[in-house]
Every structure is written in structure tokens, then in C-alpha cells.
Structure 1
């Protein structure tokens, strides 16, 4: 297949796409193991679905920003290669489903023509950098964090320090201390602050949080810096990633996130190791560059009307338009300009709707759409006089439902519709709960304090642990049969003081009783909460046992009926099953596969030497040592895990065989000299040269092993889903 690249596609992107096309061909010929190919394609946004033979393509949109033209391009690609649906995620990406593997390079090329990437949207890399969708227009922000979020995205894209980590790494940037980007649940979370010098000059910086995460064991992030000046933020993140890369778990995937490393060694020791990386950093300071595009391209002619004026002028104070004005529109920090928020059921938008939305943006708003963390969209710089017209246009598209980011606006993952690990339907229960609230609690569109989030399993793509009322898919055994179930969690999200919290598990109940459970919780809160009491404060006051007792009758399995054995959106009896795809087992020669990886990394090190990118060449060479050492340890049946442990164990078992490389020092001292030296040309050339000799010797030793021991037994490798 020949891909016709447009001039807009960068050289780096062309190389990525051609390499993906080549790897697909080699994989189909059977010459590359599934595990190696899986790692490769995930880092390029190509993700296996529950359904065999098709892929989900995750489109990486830094801080959720897209233009009207980009939205149209994504819609066109969905029509051409997928199903015509655009699914907005909680990480401000857009996903396309049911894409053929062979079509993914061409799809990517068409996206890159519009300056959209797939690179590192999945896999054990730095994932999409999320940020408050209100950044730049937030009335409460101390400064616009859009340039900072973009700089973080750009700095770590294709950066060698984060191409092969033990697990994924997530970064969020909030626009104000309200933390609307959920910094408290990220590997690194940033909250903007301003301090003032003695002469009154403002100094921009961030409160820096580290080690947060969701999943089966959610943990709150810890404060690493109360205030870090903006020029030190990216170097700090780089050092954090280097520490995680070196010391993080790599075998037990359920323990491989940075939050567990932090829990194991403690914040003080973690920050000490971060400080030890400073000498080796490419940049000790990093000035945030201006954005490569205009921050906003506004239409001419602002208005002096306030939101109160607009509501008062509405012909009917109880009309859908008035409800929409109150809940989906806010005045920006730029006086006289308004932002319009779009509530999107399930985060799904048809391609035809997306094209018409792009036309509305071109006519009425700035060319700067933001996908939100609750799976909606924000349009910016809308004139007050245009709000009635834009409402009518959005209403015709089904995009003017009031209650954006309120209790009525549930966040959800796709669940069993496409996901391998999902246990029960997320989409089905979300539709039912939203319908129930609209019919029985119509005023709930004005409640901004209770958020409801749903995931199809405990892994938390729907962020259920970070919501006041959360549900995740599960199952319950009842005799010989199994029911689809919901695990109920309460008390996540924010309390009345604006502090982030993780939800507590309360009870598991049949999923068909989800509406009754939510109804019970909302009525109880209406009846018994103090005036103005936040839901989480109410939950803590009443205690977990109070809510367990309240919901326990709904968990009674002696009263189940036949419909309880059928999941929402389904007609057949429920079965617990995990799709194959990303969770398959495969027989491979682990040693050969690992040596191939070492040789690939050596090629990247030499390539960066040629380009005079010394720091990147050094880090690739470091990975050569680690990967080659792992290969020989595996050849002797010695378990491998963290990079630090691999180097230590290699020193013990093979160090004497490689003493000529280290010039009197240990292998461990040789490898970890990476953070004892500045990333100079001299050190880079010396380090890469030693890595080259190291790989040559590893290859020679492996050849000797095969000659004396014969062909290796293939190893059955199991790998879990990467969400």
C-alpha cells in the first residue's frame, strides 16, 4: 500500500506512519511476535477491541483542543474507516471504533494532514495531557495554562525517556484552584498559582501533585511542591518520569503505576531520587514557548449584556432555552463574551452532527473547540446577541440539552460495547439513569455539586472513584447463575472545601436495580442533608454503614426476577466474559524478542548522535543496557522486574563477563552513570560506544547459548489490557 502524504505531514509523522505500515505487514507474515507488535501499535494509538479483527483508534488531542476543520477531518475519517461515530473520552481524546488494522496507517496520514496525531495516545507512555477546558476563558484562573499544557505535550512527544515505561503516565493541568482537571488523581497534577516578587512583579507557578491514580486501588496524589515556578515544571516532570522508569514495577501490572512506587518508598525518598536526576536533564529550566497557533480568533463586536440580562430578556423563564442559558452558558473572563457548553450523551457524536457543529463554530465562535473531561464540548467567544440563534442550531442537532456537568450529566466509558475488560454495560445503565433523573428529578440540572460517573469495570476509565456517586460494572453469583451487577461507590470527587477525595465502596447490587439505588440516594440526600451541605460532607457525616443499610434491601438476591439476569441494552442472559484481543496469551521466544528490542534502541541512540541530540542518545543507550541485560537474565531463568533490579541482578550474575566495558567500575555504576553526568557530546559518544560493545557481546553470548543448549522453549506470555 502506498500512502500519499500531504506536505502538511511532518517528517517525524511520516516515519511513524510508514513504520506502522511496515510492522503490520511483518506481523501478518508471522515474523514478529504479537506481544512486540502490540506494544508497538499501542504507542501509536491502535488499540484492540472486544470484537476480534477490528481496532479502536484513539486520537490524541492535547488538552482537548480542536479546530472546526480538524473536527470535520475526524468526522470524515470516521465515515471512511470506522462507523461514523466520534466518541469523546474522559481524557479529552476522540476515539473511532471498528477500524481495520490495515487501514490504520492511511487513517493516521489523513489526520496528520490536519495536524492531529495518534502517537502515544495508548501504551506505556505519557498519555494525552489533559487540562481544564475553560483554560484561557476561566473567570477564576490566575493565568491561561493552555501554553503550559501544550508545552508539556510537545516536550514529551517521542521523548526517549517515556517510550517504554512499565505503565502509562498521566498529567493534568487545572485552570484554577477549583481543580476542574482533577489534578488530585493524576501521576502529575498542576494547579496554577501566582506569587509576587518584592517589587510586585507577578511570578507564575504551580502547586505540583504527584502519585495519584484510579483503578482497583485509587490513591490521592501528594503535594510535591506548594509552589514551583513555571520554568522548572517540565524539568521536574522529566525527572519524575526518569525515576518512575527506573524504579517502577514492570511485571505485576496491577502494581505498575507510579502511585505504588510512591507508596512503597515514600514521598521524601521519591523526591530525593528526583533531585538526583537533575544533573542529567536536557534542560535545567524550560521557558514556556508561545503557542504555535492563535489562542483565540474571535469575531468582531462584543456585547455589554450580562448573563442575568439575557435570562431576564428570555420570553419564558421556564423555557428550555432559559434552562440552557442558566446551565450551559457562562460569561468568560473576557467581559462581554460567552462560552457555550455542549452536553453529549455517552460522549458520542455522529459525523454528520460533527460537521454541522463545525459550521456553527465557523459562524458564531472562535476556532477553538475544547473537548471536556466529562465528554462534552465547549465553544468559546460567542457574542450575547448570537446566543438565541446558536441555541436554535444546537437544539436541531440534539446538542442543547440543559444541565452540562451537573448531576444529570453522567460520565461513562463504552463498557461492554467495545472494551475487552468491561464486565457489564455502561452505556445501557447510563441511558436509563439519565432518563430517570430527567423524569423524576427535573431540577437536578441545577445541581453542580453531585457528579455521577460510571465505568464498565473496576479499572476506572469512567473515573467512577472520583465521583460523588460512582458505579462500576461487576457480576454477582446466585447459585448456578450469574447476574450483571453494579458496585456502588460514594464520597469521591470534591468535598465542600474543594478537596479531592476517592470514593468508598458501599455495596454491590444487581445492575437492573441501579435506578432504584440512585433514586434512593437522591431522595435521602434531599430529605436529610443540611442546608447547603455538600454531598461528600453528608456522606462522611452519615458514614458508610448508613448507606450500606439503606441500599442493602436492593442487594437481596432472594427477590431477583428473570429480568435481573439480563444486562441493560441486551436480550440474552448475562455472561461474564472478557474479549480476547488485548488480553490474549502468546507463545514467544522472550530472549530473542528482548534482544531485538535492544538492537532497535541502539539504532535510535546512534540516530540521535548523528542529529547531535545528546540527551536523547544517552537515554536510548541507557535503555540498550537495561534491555540487553534483561535478555541474558531471562536466558538463565532469572526473574526480571524494575530497571534498577535488572541492572543489579545482571551485575551479580554477568558482571564479570562485562568488566572490560566498565573500566574497573561495576556494571551498575556504568549504567547508572547516566544521572552522574551532564548530557554533553563527549559523554553521549562514550556512553553510546559502550552500549554498542555491550550489545555485540550480548549477541555473542546468546549465540553461544544456542549452540550449546539448542533452540529455546517458547514461553507463554500473558498480558493484560492497557487502558
Structure 2
């Protein structure tokens, strides 16, 4: 079912009617729960206000959408927006009476939150460099939008056994973390034809599983068909009684990989026979409907000379697009947060200097593409004025965290508080920051892994342990050396022990310094951990934290 403008509006008005029934007391909390979740509305920790998740396929945000969300946050959410680890934006402290006006304003700029939570196809992520990346087979962003439109009102959507996550990768860093998705698409060319290799069955949480190859090459025109087939397999075979075992990764575990592959192959063949031609036509129409933004200004080279903070920012935050003379700028958001006023000004900068577009990343930052080189310094100075001009994006100080116990009822630790402490402590590390280069720290406030700690260079999981005086205090376990990508992916290796929160910065600094001193050339941290062994990392960590448990 195509997600037409009329259908989106009709669905929203029907949802508004259900919200009003709840407000009148005609629906119980239990009856209303799946209704509110289907549009991305969660109870916040205090259970008197709500958190709203806003889906942004591929993280793409037009200037108009950014301005609308900034206004909504200012009026309904205390003026703060939070970029998530799946390219969504979340608003906190939203009152129920403001929910439908908020949805209507989002609808007016082309945003639907349907499926942002619940047992549905969640926000479909895409590499934020796609379409700009030298050497990429083709731009995957149009396919992200096409698949989002296809599943938005799909009859199986919102009735799956559990949430379902899909990614489209492009870059060498695999910034969308393909292997931890239910479906991961990797673009390729075969004899000049665009297509995808397809992995399936990944997921994090208390039991992380990495997606496995299910199709070596699927022609790009059959992307909808293979996605339809895999979703059908999960809808038919996914666990319905025990939600803890309801993700598709457990279907793979229960059937075994070869049997799971056969299920996918058989279902794919049935889909092709039943509706293959129609799906190819529909995909063509959806791809044609996608119109990429165009730059406002002609290309130009970067300035020949740069000094001080600007020079450092140029080195760490500026991406050279494949389109000569254009650059993408990473705007580092502390802990993923941005104010309404900052977002408005970013939208204005994207219009004035770029293509009127921003992109959210899984690293909780924003990316401003299509800036000519002769305008980069002006953008940086404007960012610095609004306190968003920090260098070292994706370096050890650019910590990723879930909301933690400040907002989430499931969290057992204040992961954002730990992230802020780490940012401040690591900022004093001097040359270590630049020497390490890209180095990702990820923190989750509980085993559910919303901070994606399993796939960081260093990942932290929060917990609460009782000490000798009878008081419970925060501790963290550590994982090191994860790797992503289409081949050779691995979750981090566990460091022995659980570390008191005050000692965690010392432990991370010690491991990072050990890596700097002992690495070979440009050796990545995952390769370094494999070479020296996790037992050596254990020794370094224990020496830095004598009170490890």
C-alpha cells in the first residue's frame, strides 16, 4: 500500500481519535500503550510526560523540516532535541495534549512518526556520506526512502513479533553498523548492474548476534522483493509468546543458518512469482519520486592556509565529497543534544552555504553537505558562535550514549552523566586525541544496548552493585575491539571485571595510551586488540583501577 499524502493524513486523524478516546478515559493504559507506541510516543521516566521519537529515513533532514522540529521542541519539549544512535530525533517532556498538534505540524513538512516504535519496521538508516563518497558503487539514499515508503503502511508492519531494523551501508567505517540490523544492505556493482549483498538476523540487546549473509547479490530493482521476503519470514516464524526471544536473530538461532537461508530463498521465490513485476515497477516509481537537494553555490577549493582551532577542525570534521570543490561538515553535538535555536541557525546555514539539507548520523552528530570550499571557514565561525564548532568529531572525546536513567525507566545507570565526565576528562588528554584518530566510545545504561556498546572501540555497560557499606553504586563493564563491515564483523571482547564509575576515565585513558604506545603504524584498534590479546588489556585496566570487582 503506497504511503500517499491522503493515506498519511487519514491515518493520522484516525490516530488522533484514539488519543482523544484515551484522554476521555475510554481506553485503559494497557489498551493505549500499543497505540501511542505505534507513533513513537513513550512514557518518560516520571510517567507524567512523554518522549517522542521522530523517524528520519537515512537521517536526511531538509532545512524546512529542521525549522519545524526546532519550533516544535521550543513549544512542546523545553527547547532541546536529541539525535539518537539510529538517525532519529527525540523530544522529551512532551505533554499528551500536544501530541496531535505536533504530529500535524510534522506531517506538514513530510515527516511521519508511524512505526518509530512498536513491533514495526523502525527508522531505516543509511550512510550519511552516501551520494557523496568517492568510490561508492551508487547512492543508497533513494533506496532508503523507497523502502521506508513501502513499509510505512504495509499490512505486516506494526504487527511483527518484535521491532525490525534495516540499514543501508556505504562507507568503509560502516557508520550504520550493518551487522547488528535485522536486514543489512551493502551496495555493489556486478557487470555494471547495481545491486546489494544482503545480511540478515543481526541485533544487540543482552544477547548480541551479528547478521549473516543470506544473498550474495540481489539486483537493485529487486530490493523491495528481498526485503518483503525476509519480513514475511520473521512475521511467520518469529516468537509471539516470549518477547525476549522475539527478534529475528532468534529465528536464525532456532532454525540454524542454512535452514534460515532456505526459508528466505523459498519465500523470495514466492514473492517474485506473486508480485515481483509489480514490486519492480513500484520501486522504479518510488526512486523517481526522490529528488536530491542541489547545492546553492558553485564549487570552490578550501583555503590554502589555516591556523589554530580552524586548522584542527578542518582536519577532523571536514569530509571531501567526490564532487570536487564541495565538502561535508560534521557538527559535533555534545551527547547528541541540540537546542531549538541552534537547530534553526544550522538550517539557515544549510540554506545559505549548502543545499538546504542536514543529515543525522548514528554517532549522534549532524552533517552539513554541499558546502563549497571558500565558504567552509564562514560556516565554522558561525558554528563556533553557537558553541557547535568543536573539532575532533568521531575521536575519543566524541562519546556516544543512550539517554540512561535521566530519562529511561529501563536504565540502571546515568550513562549520559558518565559520557559527560568522560568527555571532560578525555579532553585533557592533549596529543593523545589526535594521535588515536577515529576512536569510538559508546555507552549503554543497561543491557538493552541502545548506546550500541557492543560495537564501539570501547563499549561501556552500566550496572548498580552493592558495596560493603550496603549502598548501591554505579559500575561499568567494558568491551574492547569491535569491528563492523560486510565481512569480518565482531562484537567487542569483554574486559575482565566491573569498574566503579569514578575509575572508568582512568581505565579508558590507560587503554588508549597503551594503544598509542604499542600500535603498529596505522593499525586500527580492533586489529591491535586481536594482536596483543584481551588478557594484556585486562592487565592494563586492572592496573588503572585497583577497586575492580
Instruction: Answer yes or no: is the 8 Å Cα contact 1:468–1:494 preserved in 2.
Output: no
SS in 2 for 1:405: coil
Instruction: Answer yes or no: is the 8 Å Cα contact 1:494–1:536 preserved in 2.
Output: no
Normalising by the residue count of structure 1, what TM-score does the alignment of the two structures yield?
Answer: 0.71
Partner of 1:397: 386
Deviations, residues 270-311 of structure 1 (Å, cap 9, x unaligned): 1222233343566315244335353122123212x3x5xx3x
Cα distance between partner residues in 2 of 1:558 and 1:189: 38
**Equivalent residue in structure 1 for 2:255, among 220, 242, 265:** 265
Deviations, residues 239-296 of structure 1 (Å, cap 9, x unaligned): 1111111111122222111111101102221122223334356631524433535312
Q: Please report how far the alpha carbon of residue 499 of structure 1 lies from its aligned counterpart in structure 2 after TM superposition.
A: 3.4
Whether 1:294 aligns to 2:291 is yes
Partner of 1:383: 372
**Equivalent residue in structure 2 for 1:352, among 334, 341, 344:** 341
Instruction: Answer yes or no: is the 8 Å Cα contact 1:46–1:122 preserved in 2.
Output: yes
- In structure 2, relative to structure 1, the CA distance for the partners of 1:498 and 1:396 (3 Å cut) is farther
**Equivalent residue in structure 2 for 1:90, among 72, 85, 93:** 85
- In structure 2, relative to structure 1, the CA distance for the partners of 1:49 and 1:189 (3 Å cut) is same
Instruction: Answer yes or no: is the 8 Å Cα contact 1:87–1:348 preserved in 2.
Output: yes
Whether 1:70 aligns to 2:65 is yes
Deviations, residues 351-394 of structure 1 (Å, cap 9, x unaligned): 01111111111110012211111011111111111111111111
Cα distance between partner residues in 2 of 1:169 and 1:87: 22
Instruction: Answer yes or no: is the 8 Å Cα contact 1:73–1:114 preserved in 2.
Output: yes
Instruction: Answer yes or no: is the 8 Å Cα contact 2:327–2:373 preserved in 1.
Output: yes
**Equivalent residue in structure 1 for 2:355, among 348, 362, 366:** 366
Partner of 1:224: 214
Deviations, residues 488-532 of structure 1 (Å, cap 9, x unaligned): 11121349x973220122231111111111111112212233333
Q: Please report how far the alpha carbon of residue 35 of structure 1 lies from its aligned counterpart in structure 2 after TM superposition.
A: 2.9
- In structure 2, relative to structure 1, the CA distance for the partners of 1:441 and 1:219 (3 Å cut) is farther
**Equivalent residue in structure 2 for 1:159, among 131, 154, 157:** 154
SS in 2 for 1:313: coil
Whether 1:283 aligns to 2:272 is no
Cα distance between partner residues in 1 of 2:92 and 2:548: 40
Cα distance between partner residues in 1 of 2:373 and 2:24: 60
Deviations, residues 48-81 of structure 1 (Å, cap 9, x unaligned): 1111111111111110111111101001011111
Instruction: Answer yes or no: is the 8 Å Cα contact 1:174–1:181 preserved in 2.
Output: yes
**Equivalent residue in structure 2 for 1:485, among 475, 481, 490:** 475
Q: Please report how far the alpha carbon of residue 420 of structure 1 lies from its aligned counterpart in structure 2 after TM superposition.
A: 1.2
Partner of 1:241: 231
Instruction: Answer yes or no: is the 8 Å Cα contact 1:124–1:169 preserved in 2.
Output: yes
Cα distance between partner residues in 2 of 1:540 and 1:558: 23
Instruction: Answer yes or no: is the 8 Å Cα contact 1:407–1:451 preserved in 2.
Output: yes
Whether 1:111 aligns to 2:106 is yes
Instruction: Answer yes or no: is the 8 Å Cα contact 1:406–1:446 preserved in 2.
Output: no
Cα distance between partner residues in 1 of 2:150 and 2:16: 26
Q: Please report how far the alpha carbon of residue 47 of structure 1 lies from its aligned counterpart in structure 2 after TM superposition.
A: 1.1
SS in 2 for 1:439: coil
Partner of 1:313: 305
Cα RMSD (Å) of the superposition?
A: 2.1
In structure 2, list runs of 5 or more residues that go unmatched.
none
SS in 2 for 1:500: coil
Partner of 1:552: 542
In structure 1, list runs of 5 or more residues that go unmatched.
1-8, 197-201, 560-723
SS in 2 for 1:262: helix
- In structure 2, relative to structure 1, the CA distance for the partners of 1:549 and 1:558 (3 Å cut) is closer
Deviations, residues 442-487 of structure 1 (Å, cap 9, x unaligned): 4414634421111111111111101110101111221322111111
Partner of 1:673: none
Cα distance between partner residues in 2 of 1:180 and 1:46: 26
Cα distance between partner residues in 1 of 2:428 and 2:321: 32
Cα distance between partner residues in 1 of 2:403 and 2:111: 23
**Equivalent residue in structure 1 for 2:21, among 26, 32, 36:** 26
Cα distance between partner residues in 2 of 1:110 and 1:351: 15
Cα distance between partner residues in 2 of 1:294 and 1:86: 27
Whether 1:47 aligns to 2:38 is no
Cα distance between partner residues in 2 of 1:152 and 1:188: 12
Partner of 1:143: 138
Cα distance between partner residues in 2 of 1:388 and 1:422: 41
Partner of 1:334: 323
Partner of 1:638: none
- Which entry has the higher C-alpha Rg, 1 or 2? 1
- In structure 2, relative to structure 1, the CA distance for the partners of 1:134 and 1:472 (3 Å cut) is same
Cα distance between partner residues in 2 of 1:252 and 1:552: 39
More displaced stretch, 505-514 vs 365-374: 505-514
- In structure 2, relative to structure 1, the CA distance for the partners of 1:275 and 1:190 (3 Å cut) is same
Normalising by the residue count of structure 2, what TM-score does the alignment of the two structures yield?
Answer: 0.93
Aligned length: 538
Instruction: Answer yes or no: is the 8 Å Cα contact 2:145–2:290 preserved in 1.
Output: no
Q: Please report how far the alpha carbon of residue 176 of structure 1 lies from its aligned counterpart in structure 2 after TM superposition.
A: 4.1
More displaced stretch, 226-235 vs 348-357: 226-235
Partner of 2:121: 126
Partner of 1:504: 493
